[in-house]
Structure formats: C-alpha cells, structure tokens
Amino acid sequence: MAEPAKPQILLAEEAIARCRTLAGFSENSTGLTRTFLSPPMHACHQAISKWMQSLEMLVETDAIGNLRGVYPGLSERRLIIGSHIDTVPNAGAFDGALGVMIGLALVDGLARQRLPFEIEVIAFSEEEGVRFAKPFLGSLALVGGLNLEGAMAQAVRDFGLDPERIDEAKLDASRVIGYVEFHIEQGPVLEEVDLPLAVVAAIAGQSRFAVTFTGAANHAGTTPMRMRRDALAAAAEWVLAVERTALVTEGLVATVGSIEALPNAGNVIAGEARVGLDVRHQADEVRLTAVKQLLDEAAEIGLRRGVGVAWSERLNQATVQMDADLIALAERAVPFKMVSGAGHDAMILAAVVPSVMLFVRSPGGVSHHPDETVRAEDVAAAIGAGLSLLQDLAKRYN
C-alpha cells in the first residue's frame, strides 16, 4: 500500500549518512580501504541488508559476493540499479557506495508503491581491481564473464561463499528491462557547467601501452653532451609530445603517468626509461589514430637521438555506448550529457542489458581521496531524476 512519500532532500541526507556509515567499515583505522571480500565487507553487507529488509526487499548474496536485494513488482520483469561497494586504498565515502544508497532511496521514495517490474538493487563486491589486479569481478559474474579459480575462489570460500555456485549469479537478461547506475562524476565537468547531474552517453574507450626507451648508460661527468644516448631525455621529449597532441585533439585525454629510469642514479646518464601511456576518447577511431601518431612520434624521437624505442599494448578497450532509449528517458529529467572517462560496472552490464548511467556532481572534482564528497541538493536531484525515470518506465510497462 502506498504511504506518504519522504521528501527527496530527506532521502538524500539519509543516503549520504549511510555512505558515511559504510565508510566506517574499513580494513584499517586511519581511513577507508575495503577491498573485495575483505573482513569489513561482512559488516558492510549486514548494514545494507538491514536497510534493504526494512524496504521489504528480499536479500541474497551471490557467489562472487554481490549483495542483491529485490523489491517485488507486478511482473517478472526486472530493473537493476547498482554500483560497487569495494574501494581503492584510502578512498572517499561516495565512489560506488552512493549509487547503491541512491538505489535504496529510490525504492524508499516509491513509498511501498509496486511498479510493473521488480527493482533489484545490487551492491557489487568488486569493481576497482585492487585485490586481484582484475577489475569488475562483481559485474562480470552477472554477464557470465568470470572464471572463479585459484586464489580468487579461495577468497570466496574464506568469505563463507561457494565458488561452485558462480553460474547462479548470472543474469536472466530476457527479464531485465535495464540497468541504471548512479555514480559520482569523479571529475570537474559538472562543477564547471554548474549542474548537479549528467546523463552518461558513453564510457570512453582506452588504450594503454608500456613504452621503453633504450639508450646507453654512462658517466654523467665524462660523457660530452653531443655523444650521449640519453634514454630519459628521449622519454621526456616524448612525454611533452603526448601532452601537445592531446591538447590539440578535441576530447582526447592522453597521459604518461609513470616513468622509471635505469639505473636511476643522479650521476649516471639513464640507459633505459620505461613509461606508461594511457589514451582515452569517446570515438575509437580518434583514439586509435592518436595512439598511432604518438607511437610514431616516439620512434622518430628515438631515431633522432640514437635511442631504441619499443612498446607493448596492455589494453585496447573499445568505447561502450549507453542505451539510446534509456538515455532519452533519463534526459527528460537531466538535460546534460557527457562521456565518462573512467570505466564503471555499467560498461560490463551494457554487453547484455540496456544500460545507462547518471553522474552526480563531485565538488572540487575530487575522488579516490578521503576528501571526496557530494552535496545533499545534488543527491536529491539524482533521486528526483531516478523517480521520474521509474515512473516513465512504469507507464511503458503498464
């Protein structure tokens, strides 16, 4: 039976308070670190289960440790709302957790109204890839893309779950009408345009490369400047070239975020420099063209300086488009679209079910840091947009 709906600002404040509560469940006492199936995940599950049960949701934990609560509907159809509850080391309270808490706020906001579909809120056990250097474990299990073995299977057993039951975590995609993920933006775009929310149109494709410059290590005092094959100077020249190319290519972000010089001594010309390249763009063609240009430039710099250049590809992930129909529905409440530069669970789910994301403004653009925060008004706006989306979908499936 319907009951008076709570004001959206109260739902938002509660969602925020709950994120803060969850942030107290940490592997250490100095900040928030909660990796895949680590001991504090038990307390986290307990708290979320209690909140789900108070909303008349049926709660289960699947074999990869996703906590899943189903709010009954008037048919077998199902809408999924989810995000992750694992964190990076020394994390903020809202990356991932906010999406799950907004899911619960939406169910709460229905005030016991039943829709023509069930709502499943999923707290994914793993997205960040910290514990096993492999991200998206939780959502991969839903699309049947996860092989549970070795240390990972042991972690599942240690948590009290049965890795043999991993197939039961898989979605019955024929029943699922969509996947909606709310997430903090983790960047400065919404701050700059002064808006609380964005609809995510696509998740940008990524290329990652390891690039090695090989010169000749030698004495920093006795080797004349013109007779050097300085690997670090060659790498440095290329780092700036990468930045220049990205600056003049609309929408491209290219980063050299790591560099290692060998032997890394102040009085030795570097014989080798190893750098990591990360390139992202919403159009795969633009990204791949930029990557080719950047690698050509590296080769040209090496040739000119007598330094060898070699590279190996570490990642070539295509752009994932969100579902056009869900985007159009979400846009009724949120008239601003952007591309996500970061990967999210929606990227995995989009392979099997229509998916869309909504970003909530990140004050200061700060994320993966204890200072990460959100504004209650922005979260209230997200809850408002979510409730409109639910009602629009309800009309469609009535």
Report if residue 95 touches Zn ion, rule: CB under 5 A. yes
Closer residue to Zn ion, CB minimum distance, 96 or 103: 96
Closer residue to Zn ion, CB minimum distance, 213 or 359: 359
Give the interface segment with Zn ion, choosing from 87-95, 303-311, 315-323, 354-362 (CB under 5 A).
87-95
Closer residue to Zn ion, CB minimum distance, 256 or 320: 320
Name the token pair of 27: 């592997």
CB of 136 to Zn ion, least distance (A): 11
* Residues 273, 212 contacting (CB under 8 angstroms): yes
Round to whole Å and give the CA distance between 317 and 203. 10
CB of 222 to Zn ion, least distance (A): 52
Give the interface segment with Zn ion, choosing from 95-103, 256-264, 292-300, 377-385 (CB under 5 A).
95-103
CB of 137 to Zn ion, least distance (A): 13
Round to whole Å and give the CA distance between 294 and 20. 43
Name the token pair of 234: 């060659």
Judged on CB neighbours under 10 Å (0-12, 13-18, 19+), 194 is exposed
Give the interface segment with Zn ion, choosing from 89-97, 162-170, 305-313, 320-328 (CB under 5 A).
89-97
Round to whole Å and give the CA distance between 137 and 152. 10
Give the interface segment with Zn ion, choosing from 35-43, 67-75, 90-98, 316-324 (CB under 5 A).
90-98
CB of 60 to Zn ion, least distance (A): 23
Given 40, 65, 82, 96, the residue binding Zn ion (CB under 5 A): 96
Name the token pair of 6: 């709570």
Round to whole Å and give the CA distance between 281 and 143. 25
CB of 345 to Zn ion, least distance (A): 8
Closer residue to Zn ion, CB minimum distance, 256 or 356: 356
Nearest CA among 205, 200, 239 for reference residue 385: 200
CB of 84 to Zn ion, least distance (A): 6
Task: With H, G, I as helix, E, B as strand and everything else as coil, classify residue 328.
Answer: helix
Give the interface segment with Zn ion, choosing from 21-29, 88-96, 157-165, 276-284 (CB under 5 A).
88-96
Closer residue to Zn ion, CB minimum distance, 62 or 95: 95
Total interface residues for Zn ion by CB under 5 A: 2
Closer residue to Zn ion, CB minimum distance, 6 or 368: 368
Nearest CA among 106, 81, 115, 95 for reference residue 8: 106
Helix (H) or strand (E) holding 228: none
Q: Half-sphere exposure (CA, 13 Å, Cβ side) for 18? A: 27
The residues of the shown chain that bind Zn ion, judged by CB under 5 A, are 95-96
